[in-house]
Amino acid sequence: MADRPIRVLFLCLGNICRSPLAEGVFRAKVEEAGLATHFEIDSAGTGPWHAGEPPDARMRSTAQKNGVDLGTIRGRQLSKADLDRFDHIFAMDKSNLHDALFLDPGGDHGTRIRLFREFDPDPGDYQVPDPYYGGPSGFDHVYAIVDRTAQAILERLYTAHRLDSEPDH
Ligand code: 4NP
């Protein structure tokens, strides 16, 4: 394989709903495809409030219902060092994207920091709605968005990083 894994970070506000789900769903797809050694996968929030906490119980049960375990994920706040470390940072909404870019306003981030739903085949307004203050149907809606977008991102990275030509796969 390449000399180091591809580093992928999913970003939202609290790191207890949307981005931990994206982390868990993407990891499950990577493992199912036998590509685990090729990726380092993480998530973070732009805000500090939920650092150290497990994902929201409603998000955990929505994921569990779909065979995805978020149990080991703990909230953490995005740092400036993350902007350099990760090859791909996928922001759940435009304010998350803005906040990430303005952690390092002079930085040369190229196309590494982007909206997650840029890769959604049905992108709507390009943002993953925050289900935190809504009812249960919001969580299923977010799951559907995250599931199809994580699949599209994996296919895109598989091609872009030429994982098909890697000898250990
Ligand atoms: P998330 O949802 O950004 O998808 O993790 C939120 C969770 C908590 C808060 C905001 C959004 N909060 O303000 O506590």
Structural domain spans, the chain: 6-160
DSSP H helical ranges for the chain = 18-32, 57-65, 80-85, 94-101, 136-160
The CA-CA-CA angle for residues 138, 134, 125, to 5°, reads: 55
Q: How far is ligand 1, taken at its centre, from the CA of residue 49, in Å?
A: 9
Give residue 168 CA to ligand 1 midpoint distance, Å: 39
pLDDT value of position 135? 87
Active-site residue list: 12, 18, 130
pLDDT of residue 166: 63
Looking at the structure, give the CATH architecture of the domain made up of residues 6-160.
3-Layer(aba) Sandwich (3.40)
Question: What local confidence, expressed as pLDDT, does residue 167 receive?
Answer: 55
Give the number of residues written for the chain.
169
The C-alpha atoms of residue 45 and residue 74 are separated, in whole angstroms, by 11
Q: Is the pLDDT of residue 168 over 80?
A: no
Cα 122 to Cα 145: distance, rounded to the nearest angstrom = 9
The model's pLDDT over 73-96, given as tens digits with 9 standing for 90+, comes to 999 999 999 999 999 999 999 999
DSSP H/E element including 117 = none
Q: Is the pLDDT of residue 165 over 80?
A: no
Q: Do 143 and 119 meet the contact criterion of CB atoms below 8 Å apart?
A: no
Task: Tell me which residue has tokens 């993407």.
Answer: 26
Write the residue with the smallest CA distance to atom 14 of ligand 1.
Answer: 14
Q: Are 153 and 165 in contact (CB under 8 A)?
A: no
**CB 12 near ligand 1, within 6 Å:** yes
